[in-house]
Amino acid sequence: MKTLIASLILFSATAVYVTVVNKNTKQMTTKQKILKAFYPLIMWTGKSKKEAVYNVQHTNPSIDFYSIKIELNDGSILDMSTLKGKKIVLVNTASDCGFTGQYENLEKLYQQYKEKLTIIGFPANDFAQQEKKNDAEIAQFCKKNYGVEFPLAKKGVVIKNKDQQEIYKWLTDKSLNGWNDKAPSWNFCKYIIDENGLLDSYLPSAVDPLGKEMKAALGLD
């Protein structure tokens, strides 16, 4: 009986916590609300899974990064050459992932430093089918729940296969980028491009967009 009572108390407390955390969310599923509520715990337990790699030799690409163009969520085309002189964070995203809460800190990072860096999200359904929404639904979800204003690309493929987007082919093929073959291992992996179009680093999902490791990779205070 005591075990049952304790379980009921824990369940009730958890339900209240999830409700409080999600008081301002809109059009979220129950799963999304639970994931958002327990995002801090997910980030904490993920710290041991870091697999960051860095371009320590400052190797130049064989194919110019600035020659790439991407289609954005709204159908417009973004030419990477328009971003010369800025650092760029490219991150594959999903709406139903334990790391989805990173949208909030990615937006904060973008707003704080957007004069010298930009962030581009690449929605993909490549990991455990955690992004089933279409482009319009993704844009609405990100804006309403996380205030996202940084650009979102058209939903596509980031893992290595025949449908992989051009920009991710460049990011994950050392014959193109000069040194890195590492593809995203899960949602919310980050690739950093420096001001001169070099692939500078790859940071895995568990790296907080506002954490010390991220800011060090970006050369921010």
Identify the sign of the CA torsion 162, 125, 140, 68: negative
Helix or strand (DSSP H, E) at 35:
helix 30-37
- Annotated active-site residue 97? The verdict is yes
Per the CB < 8 A criterion, the answer to whether 69 and 80 are in contact is: yes
C-alpha neighbours within 13 Å on the C-beta side of residue 4: 1
E-assigned strand segments in 159-198:
190-193
Q: How far apart are CA 118 and CA 112, in angstroms?
A: 10
Is 200 in a helix, a strand, or coil?
strand
Catalytic residue among 42, 97, 109, 139: 97
129 Rama class: left (phi>0) / alpha (psi -120 to 50) / beta: left
Provide CB contacts within 8 A for 53, sequence distance 6+. 180, 182, 201, 202
Question: Which are the catalytic amino acids?
Answer: 97
